[in-house]
Amino acid sequence: MTDEEQFDLYAGFINEWLDYGNQFFKAQTSGSTGVPKKIQLSRKIMTESAQRTISFFGIDRSWLLLSCISAKYIGGKMMAVRALISQASLRCIQPSNHPSIEDAVRWKGNILIAVVPSQMWHILSIPFTESEKKRIHFLIGGAAIPPELRRQIVESGVQAWETYGMTETASHIALRKVTQRDEYFQALPGITLSKCDNDTLAISLQDNVRLVTNDLVEFNGDGRFRILGRADNVIITGGLKVIPELLEHKISRILAQDSIMAATISEVMVTSRHDSLWGEALTLLVEIHSAEENNQEEICGKIYWLLRKHFKTPESTLQSHEIPKHIEIISALPRTANGKLQRRHTY
Protein backbone atom coordinates (compact mmCIF):
# COMPACT_ATOMS: atom_id res chain seq x y z
CA MET A 1 0.00 0.00 0.00
CA THR A 2 1.32 3.44 -0.97
CA ASP A 3 1.06 6.63 1.09
CA GLU A 4 -1.58 7.85 -1.38
CA GLU A 5 -3.67 4.69 -0.97
CA GLN A 6 -3.39 4.98 2.80
CA PHE A 7 -4.51 8.62 2.64
CA ASP A 8 -7.49 7.69 0.45
CA LEU A 9 -8.59 5.03 2.95
CA TYR A 10 -8.49 7.51 5.82
CA ALA A 11 -10.19 10.25 3.80
CA GLY A 12 -12.96 7.86 2.82
CA PHE A 13 -13.57 6.79 6.42
CA ILE A 14 -13.46 10.38 7.73
CA ASN A 15 -16.06 11.47 5.15
CA GLU A 16 -18.22 8.55 6.22
CA TRP A 17 -17.84 9.49 9.91
CA LEU A 18 -18.71 13.15 9.28
CA ASP A 19 -22.01 12.12 7.70
CA TYR A 20 -23.98 12.05 10.94
CA GLY A 21 -26.73 10.07 9.28
CA ASN A 22 -24.38 7.10 9.52
CA GLN A 23 -24.82 5.38 12.87
CA PHE A 24 -23.02 2.13 12.03
CA PHE A 25 -19.61 1.54 10.45
CA LYS A 26 -18.08 -1.53 8.87
CA ALA A 27 -14.96 -2.99 10.44
CA GLN A 28 -12.89 -6.05 9.58
CA THR A 29 -11.43 -8.47 12.10
CA SER A 30 -7.75 -9.35 11.77
CA GLY A 31 -8.12 -13.01 10.87
CA SER A 32 -5.47 -14.13 13.36
CA THR A 33 -7.56 -17.17 14.38
CA GLY A 34 -9.54 -17.77 11.22
CA VAL A 35 -11.00 -16.12 8.16
CA PRO A 36 -11.29 -12.31 8.57
CA LYS A 37 -14.91 -11.23 8.92
CA LYS A 38 -16.74 -7.95 8.58
CA ILE A 39 -18.80 -6.60 11.46
CA GLN A 40 -20.67 -3.39 12.19
CA LEU A 41 -19.89 -1.04 15.08
CA SER A 42 -22.17 1.70 16.31
CA ARG A 43 -21.11 5.35 16.36
CA LYS A 44 -21.85 5.35 20.09
CA ILE A 45 -19.46 2.47 20.92
CA MET A 46 -16.70 4.00 18.76
CA THR A 47 -17.22 7.44 20.30
CA GLU A 48 -17.05 6.08 23.85
CA SER A 49 -13.89 4.13 22.98
CA ALA A 50 -12.24 7.26 21.57
CA GLN A 51 -13.21 9.33 24.61
CA ARG A 52 -11.61 6.77 26.97
CA THR A 53 -8.28 7.06 25.14
CA ILE A 54 -8.52 10.85 24.87
CA SER A 55 -9.14 11.09 28.62
CA PHE A 56 -6.33 8.66 29.52
CA PHE A 57 -3.65 10.56 27.60
CA GLY A 58 -5.16 14.05 27.97
CA ILE A 59 -5.33 14.55 24.19
CA ASP A 60 -6.43 17.95 22.92
CA ARG A 61 -6.06 20.07 19.79
CA SER A 62 -2.33 20.62 20.47
CA TRP A 63 -1.58 16.92 19.94
CA LEU A 64 -0.57 15.04 16.80
CA LEU A 65 -2.01 11.58 16.24
CA LEU A 66 0.16 9.55 13.87
CA SER A 67 -1.13 6.25 12.51
CA CYS A 68 1.19 3.61 11.06
CA ILE A 69 -1.80 1.26 10.77
CA SER A 70 -4.13 0.77 7.82
CA ALA A 71 -7.59 2.31 8.01
CA LYS A 72 -8.91 -1.07 6.87
CA TYR A 73 -8.68 -2.14 10.51
CA ILE A 74 -10.21 -0.77 13.69
CA GLY A 75 -6.86 0.42 15.08
CA GLY A 76 -6.49 2.79 12.14
CA LYS A 77 -10.12 3.90 12.08
CA MET A 78 -10.06 4.75 15.78
CA MET A 79 -7.01 7.01 15.38
CA ALA A 80 -9.13 9.09 13.00
CA VAL A 81 -12.11 9.11 15.41
CA ARG A 82 -9.88 10.22 18.31
CA ALA A 83 -8.47 13.04 16.21
CA LEU A 84 -11.91 14.23 15.08
CA ILE A 85 -13.38 14.21 18.59
CA SER A 86 -10.37 15.82 20.30
CA GLN A 87 -9.64 18.18 17.35
CA ALA A 88 -6.06 16.93 17.36
CA SER A 89 -4.06 16.84 14.12
CA LEU A 90 -3.97 13.53 12.27
CA ARG A 91 -1.32 12.06 9.98
CA CYS A 92 -1.24 8.64 8.39
CA ILE A 93 1.70 6.96 6.72
CA GLN A 94 2.17 3.83 4.68
CA PRO A 95 1.81 0.74 6.91
CA SER A 96 5.06 -1.22 6.71
CA ASN A 97 7.63 -2.74 9.03
CA HIS A 98 9.84 0.32 8.41
CA PRO A 99 7.45 3.23 9.04
CA SER A 100 8.86 6.66 8.16
CA ILE A 101 8.03 8.66 11.29
CA GLU A 102 11.08 10.93 11.36
CA ASP A 103 9.29 13.98 9.90
CA ALA A 104 6.30 13.61 12.20
CA VAL A 105 8.33 13.47 15.42
CA ARG A 106 9.50 17.04 14.78
CA TRP A 107 6.03 18.11 15.94
CA LYS A 108 6.55 20.45 18.90
CA GLY A 109 3.67 19.16 21.00
CA ASN A 110 2.69 15.75 22.31
CA ILE A 111 2.36 12.87 19.86
CA LEU A 112 0.44 9.59 20.02
CA ILE A 113 1.76 7.03 17.52
CA ALA A 114 -0.23 3.85 16.78
CA VAL A 115 1.97 0.90 15.76
CA VAL A 116 2.14 -2.90 15.83
CA PRO A 117 5.08 -4.69 17.54
CA SER A 118 6.85 -5.58 14.29
CA GLN A 119 7.14 -1.86 13.50
CA MET A 120 8.78 -1.05 16.83
CA TRP A 121 11.95 -2.98 15.92
CA HIS A 122 12.66 -0.35 13.24
CA ILE A 123 11.41 2.60 15.29
CA LEU A 124 13.89 1.82 18.08
CA SER A 125 16.74 2.40 15.60
CA ILE A 126 15.72 6.07 15.40
CA PRO A 127 17.76 8.34 17.73
CA PHE A 128 15.13 10.19 19.80
CA THR A 129 16.09 13.23 21.85
CA GLU A 130 15.24 13.34 25.56
CA SER A 131 12.56 15.93 24.76
CA GLU A 132 11.00 13.66 22.15
CA LYS A 133 11.00 10.73 24.57
CA LYS A 134 8.88 12.81 26.96
CA ARG A 135 6.44 14.04 24.28
CA ILE A 136 5.93 10.87 22.23
CA HIS A 137 3.64 8.07 23.35
CA PHE A 138 3.61 4.79 21.42
CA LEU A 139 0.33 2.87 21.38
CA ILE A 140 1.27 -0.73 20.57
CA GLY A 141 -1.49 -3.13 19.55
CA GLY A 142 -2.33 -5.99 17.24
CA ALA A 143 -0.15 -8.63 18.88
CA ALA A 144 1.78 -9.42 22.05
CA ILE A 145 5.17 -7.75 22.50
CA PRO A 146 8.04 -10.30 22.42
CA PRO A 147 10.27 -10.24 25.55
CA GLU A 148 13.38 -9.08 23.64
CA LEU A 149 11.47 -6.20 22.05
CA ARG A 150 10.02 -5.34 25.46
CA ARG A 151 13.54 -5.18 26.90
CA GLN A 152 14.72 -2.91 24.09
CA ILE A 153 11.73 -0.59 24.49
CA VAL A 154 12.43 -0.21 28.21
CA GLU A 155 16.15 0.39 27.66
CA SER A 156 15.44 2.98 24.94
CA GLY A 157 13.55 5.20 27.37
CA VAL A 158 10.59 5.82 25.04
CA GLN A 159 7.07 5.88 26.49
CA ALA A 160 5.11 2.92 25.19
CA TRP A 161 1.74 1.47 26.08
CA GLU A 162 0.60 -2.05 25.28
CA THR A 163 -3.09 -2.41 24.44
CA TYR A 164 -5.71 -5.08 24.95
CA GLY A 165 -8.89 -5.04 22.93
CA MET A 166 -10.47 -6.27 19.73
CA THR A 167 -12.44 -5.10 16.75
CA GLU A 168 -15.72 -5.80 18.54
CA THR A 169 -14.80 -3.38 21.36
CA ALA A 170 -13.75 -0.64 18.91
CA SER A 171 -10.05 -0.98 19.75
CA HIS A 172 -8.50 -1.27 23.22
CA ILE A 173 -10.39 -1.44 26.50
CA ALA A 174 -7.26 -1.77 28.67
CA LEU A 175 -3.66 -0.52 28.71
CA ARG A 176 -0.39 -1.28 30.45
CA LYS A 177 2.86 0.66 30.42
CA VAL A 178 5.62 -1.33 28.76
CA THR A 179 8.01 -2.33 31.55
CA GLN A 180 10.10 -5.40 32.26
CA ARG A 181 7.95 -6.54 35.16
CA ASP A 182 4.30 -5.48 34.97
CA GLU A 183 2.36 -8.20 33.16
CA TYR A 184 -1.14 -7.04 34.07
CA PHE A 185 -3.50 -4.74 32.18
CA GLN A 186 -5.67 -2.06 33.76
CA ALA A 187 -9.15 -1.68 32.30
CA LEU A 188 -10.10 1.87 31.31
CA PRO A 189 -13.01 3.68 33.06
CA GLY A 190 -16.43 2.49 31.96
CA ILE A 191 -15.24 -1.08 31.35
CA THR A 192 -16.31 -3.97 33.61
CA LEU A 193 -14.54 -7.33 33.35
CA SER A 194 -15.39 -10.80 34.66
CA LYS A 195 -14.30 -14.42 34.23
CA CYS A 196 -16.64 -17.00 32.70
CA ASP A 197 -16.96 -20.58 33.93
CA ASN A 198 -14.49 -21.74 31.25
CA ASP A 199 -11.90 -19.15 32.40
CA THR A 200 -12.45 -16.85 29.41
CA LEU A 201 -12.84 -13.09 29.74
CA ALA A 202 -16.18 -11.29 29.53
CA ILE A 203 -16.19 -7.55 28.77
CA SER A 204 -19.10 -5.29 29.71
CA LEU A 205 -19.22 -1.94 27.93
CA GLN A 206 -21.59 0.91 28.69
CA ASP A 207 -25.32 0.53 27.90
CA ASN A 208 -25.29 -3.15 28.95
CA VAL A 209 -23.25 -4.33 25.95
CA ARG A 210 -21.52 -7.58 27.01
CA LEU A 211 -18.97 -9.50 24.94
CA VAL A 212 -17.71 -12.97 25.83
CA THR A 213 -14.22 -13.47 24.44
CA ASN A 214 -12.20 -16.57 23.67
CA ASP A 215 -9.28 -15.25 25.73
CA LEU A 216 -8.19 -17.20 28.80
CA VAL A 217 -7.80 -14.68 31.63
CA GLU A 218 -6.10 -14.43 35.02
CA PHE A 219 -6.98 -11.64 37.48
CA ASN A 220 -4.76 -10.39 40.27
CA GLY A 221 -5.96 -9.07 43.63
CA ASP A 222 -6.62 -5.46 42.58
CA GLY A 223 -8.74 -6.14 39.50
CA ARG A 224 -6.00 -5.98 36.90
CA PHE A 225 -5.66 -8.90 34.52
CA ARG A 226 -3.46 -10.69 32.04
CA ILE A 227 -4.32 -12.84 29.06
CA LEU A 228 -2.86 -16.35 29.06
CA GLY A 229 -3.89 -17.20 25.52
CA ARG A 230 -6.91 -18.09 23.43
CA ALA A 231 -9.09 -21.06 24.26
CA ASP A 232 -9.25 -22.08 20.59
CA ASN A 233 -5.44 -22.11 20.34
CA VAL A 234 -4.99 -24.72 23.07
CA ILE A 235 -2.96 -27.74 21.93
CA ILE A 236 -3.55 -31.20 23.40
CA THR A 237 -0.31 -33.20 23.41
CA GLY A 238 -0.17 -36.57 25.09
CA GLY A 239 -3.53 -35.80 26.70
CA LEU A 240 -2.19 -32.61 28.36
CA LYS A 241 -3.18 -29.04 27.55
CA VAL A 242 -0.67 -26.45 26.36
CA ILE A 243 -1.52 -22.76 25.91
CA PRO A 244 0.78 -21.71 23.03
CA GLU A 245 0.95 -18.03 23.96
CA LEU A 246 1.89 -18.80 27.56
CA LEU A 247 4.53 -21.32 26.48
CA GLU A 248 5.97 -18.83 23.96
CA HIS A 249 6.36 -16.35 26.80
CA LYS A 250 8.19 -18.91 28.93
CA ILE A 251 10.50 -20.00 26.10
CA SER A 252 11.26 -16.44 25.03
CA ARG A 253 12.30 -15.52 28.57
CA ILE A 254 14.58 -18.55 28.81
CA LEU A 255 16.25 -17.87 25.45
CA ALA A 256 16.63 -14.16 26.23
CA GLN A 257 18.96 -15.06 29.11
CA ASP A 258 21.50 -16.31 26.56
CA SER A 259 23.20 -13.34 24.87
CA ILE A 260 23.77 -15.16 21.57
CA MET A 261 20.17 -16.36 21.33
CA ALA A 262 18.85 -12.94 22.36
CA ALA A 263 20.80 -11.36 19.50
CA THR A 264 19.78 -14.06 17.01
CA ILE A 265 16.06 -14.65 17.60
CA SER A 266 13.33 -12.19 16.63
CA GLU A 267 10.31 -14.15 17.86
CA VAL A 268 9.04 -17.68 18.44
CA MET A 269 5.69 -19.34 17.84
CA VAL A 270 4.41 -22.60 19.28
CA THR A 271 2.31 -24.78 17.01
CA SER A 272 2.00 -28.55 16.48
CA ARG A 273 2.31 -31.46 14.09
CA HIS A 274 0.05 -34.47 13.87
CA ASP A 275 1.78 -37.35 15.63
CA SER A 276 0.73 -40.99 16.03
CA LEU A 277 2.13 -41.14 19.59
CA TRP A 278 1.36 -37.68 21.01
CA GLY A 279 -1.72 -36.78 18.97
CA GLU A 280 -0.17 -33.36 18.50
CA ALA A 281 3.59 -32.95 18.86
CA LEU A 282 4.67 -29.47 19.96
CA THR A 283 6.64 -27.63 17.29
CA LEU A 284 8.58 -24.44 17.95
CA LEU A 285 8.91 -22.10 14.97
CA VAL A 286 11.82 -19.68 15.37
CA GLU A 287 12.15 -16.45 13.41
CA ILE A 288 15.76 -15.26 13.36
CA HIS A 289 17.35 -11.98 12.32
CA SER A 290 19.78 -13.69 9.95
CA ALA A 291 21.77 -16.91 9.74
CA GLU A 292 23.60 -19.00 7.20
CA GLU A 293 21.69 -22.11 6.16
CA ASN A 294 24.39 -24.37 7.59
CA ASN A 295 24.01 -22.67 11.00
CA GLN A 296 20.33 -23.49 11.39
CA GLU A 297 20.84 -26.98 12.78
CA GLU A 298 23.31 -25.56 15.28
CA ILE A 299 20.79 -22.93 16.41
CA CYS A 300 18.05 -25.54 16.83
CA GLY A 301 20.41 -27.71 18.86
CA LYS A 302 21.37 -24.79 21.10
CA ILE A 303 17.71 -23.89 21.71
CA TYR A 304 16.84 -27.46 22.67
CA TRP A 305 19.87 -27.65 24.98
CA LEU A 306 18.92 -24.39 26.71
CA LEU A 307 15.34 -25.53 27.26
CA ARG A 308 16.44 -28.90 28.64
CA LYS A 309 19.01 -27.20 30.87
CA HIS A 310 16.38 -24.86 32.28
CA PHE A 311 13.92 -27.72 32.79
CA LYS A 312 16.41 -29.50 35.05
CA THR A 313 16.82 -26.52 37.39
CA PRO A 314 14.79 -26.26 40.63
CA GLU A 315 13.26 -22.94 39.52
CA SER A 316 12.12 -24.29 36.14
CA THR A 317 8.93 -22.80 34.72
CA LEU A 318 8.68 -25.55 32.08
CA GLN A 319 6.71 -28.77 32.37
CA SER A 320 8.19 -31.84 30.70
CA HIS A 321 5.36 -31.98 28.13
CA GLU A 322 6.03 -28.32 27.21
CA ILE A 323 9.46 -29.00 25.72
CA PRO A 324 8.95 -28.94 21.93
CA LYS A 325 9.40 -32.18 20.04
CA HIS A 326 10.42 -30.25 16.90
CA ILE A 327 12.27 -26.95 16.42
CA GLU A 328 12.35 -25.27 13.03
CA ILE A 329 14.02 -22.09 11.78
CA ILE A 330 11.71 -19.98 9.64
CA SER A 331 12.49 -16.80 7.68
CA ALA A 332 9.30 -15.06 8.81
CA LEU A 333 6.49 -16.20 11.08
CA PRO A 334 3.08 -16.23 9.37
CA ARG A 335 1.25 -12.97 10.07
CA THR A 336 -1.97 -11.24 9.16
CA ALA A 337 -1.96 -7.93 7.29
CA ASN A 338 -1.84 -5.95 10.55
CA GLY A 339 1.00 -7.90 12.13
CA LYS A 340 -0.71 -10.53 14.27
CA LEU A 341 0.62 -14.07 14.30
CA GLN A 342 -1.54 -16.24 12.07
CA ARG A 343 -2.01 -19.29 14.18
CA ARG A 344 -2.84 -22.80 13.12
CA HIS A 345 -3.18 -25.85 15.33
CA THR A 346 -0.87 -27.79 13.05
CA TYR A 347 2.04 -26.72 10.87
Where residue 53 falls among pLDDT bands split at 50, 70, 90?
very high
pLDDT digits (tens, 9 = 90+) for 177-212: 999 877 899 999 999 999 999 999 999 998 778 999
Instruction: Domain ranges for the chain, please list them.
Output: 3-190, 234-330
The pLDDT value recorded for residue 346 is: 61
* Rounded Cα–Cα distance for residues 285 and 12 (Å): 39
How many residues make up the chain in this entry? 347
Q: What is the CATH architecture assignment of 234-330?
A: 2-Layer Sandwich (3.30)
d(CA 245, CA 215): 11
HSE at residue 294, side-chain half, CA atoms within 13 A, is 0
- 12-16, 68-72, 244-248, 288-292, range with the lowest pLDDT: 288-292
Say what the pTM is. Answer: 0.82
CB 83 within 8 A of CB 37: no
Domain 3-190 fold: Rossmann fold (3.40.50)
pLDDT in tens, 288-329: 877 555 688 899 999 999 999 999 999 898 999 999 999 999
| CB-CB contact of 327 with 287 (8 Å) | no
**What is the spatial distance between Cα 35 and Cα 76, in angstroms, rounded to a whole number?**
20
Give the pLDDT confidence score for residue 55 in this predicted structure: 98
Q: What confidence score (pLDDT) does residue 135 get?
A: 96
Rounded Cα distance between 290 and 296, Å, is 10
Distance CA 307, CA 160 (A): 30
**Same-fold call for 3-190 versus 234-330:** no
Distance between CA atoms of 239 and 187, rounded to whole angstroms? 35
Report how far residue 298's alpha carbon sits from residue 122's, in angstroms, rounded to the nearest whole number.
Answer: 27
pLDDT tens for 215-263 read 999 999 888 999 999 998 999 998 999 999 999 989 998 998 899 898 8
Q: What is the pLDDT of residue 59?
A: 98
